[in-house]
């Protein structure tokens, strides 16, 4: 269903905004007239230099670079989550992340890379537990943080677990 246009612009958080898909989502949001603020949350907390060269970093309508309009935040949903084993884990993460109130969140977190040792020994093969963790559990954490920051909408734009399994070969 289409999201009705509101009188105010949106503040959108993009989990995994430095990645292959996330950077394109951030650029699209910045260049739209629907977003007031775009916040990228990723391990590095900055745009990778390989797509912010003069050739690849498309200009905004006002002549500025789109990547300069994104608020880049460093946060690791894996390592930062594991540092505290208490019951109030989400509250502690919320304080570490310092995410302002947001209207919506988009997760571009996902991984379909085979384990290095499996790829070298057996060709293309996947670790089901790792895929579930990196494509499922980390996104659940992103959803919980987005809710705590006030997000009314959440979208998952990434490669799913089933898509990764399809790369292994024909289904028997």
Q: Once rounded to an integer, what is the mean pLDDT over residues 76-85?
A: 70
The pLDDT-based confidence of 128 (bands split at 50, 70, 90) is: confident
**12-68: pLDDT as tens digits:** 999 999 988 899 999 999 998 889 999 999 988 988 766 555 445 555 566 678 889
The pLDDT-based confidence of 120 (bands split at 50, 70, 90) is: low
C-beta contacts of 154-158 below 8 A and 24+ residues apart: 154/104, 154/105, 154/106, 154/107, 155/104, 155/105, 155/106, 155/107, 156/106, 156/107, 157/21, 157/25, 157/106, 157/107, 157/108, 158/16, 158/21, 158/107, 158/108, 158/109, 158/110
Higher pLDDT, 96 or 50: 96
pLDDT at residue 168 tops 60: no
The pLDDT-based confidence of 2 (bands split at 50, 70, 90) is: very low
State residue 157's pLDDT score.
87
State residue 33's pLDDT score.
81
State residue 130's pLDDT score.
78
**137-149: pLDDT as tens digits:** 899 989 988 998 9
The pLDDT-based confidence of 96 (bands split at 50, 70, 90) is: confident
């Amino acid at each position: 269903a289409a999201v009705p246009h509101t009188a105010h612009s949106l503040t959108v958080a993009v989990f995994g905004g430095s990645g292959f898909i996330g950077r394109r989502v951030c650029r699209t949001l910045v260049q739209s007239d629907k977003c007031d603020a775009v916040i990228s949350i990723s391990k590095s907390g900055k745009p990778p230099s390989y797509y912010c060269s003069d050739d690849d970093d498309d200009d905004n309508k006002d002549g500025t670079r789109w990547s300069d309009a994104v608020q880049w935040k460093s946060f690791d949903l894996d390592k930062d989550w594991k540092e505290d084993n208490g019951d109030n884990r989400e509250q502690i993460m919320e304080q570490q992340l310092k995410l302002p109130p947001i209207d919506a969140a988009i997760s571009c977190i996902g991984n379909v890379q085979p384990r290095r040792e499996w790829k070298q020994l057996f060709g293309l093969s996947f670790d089901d537990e790792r895929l579930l963790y990196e494509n499922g559990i980390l996104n659940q954490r992103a959803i919980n943080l987005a809710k705590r920051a006030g997000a009314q909408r959440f979208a998952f734009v990434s490669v799913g677990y089933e898509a990764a399994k399809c790369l292994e070969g024909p289904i028997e």
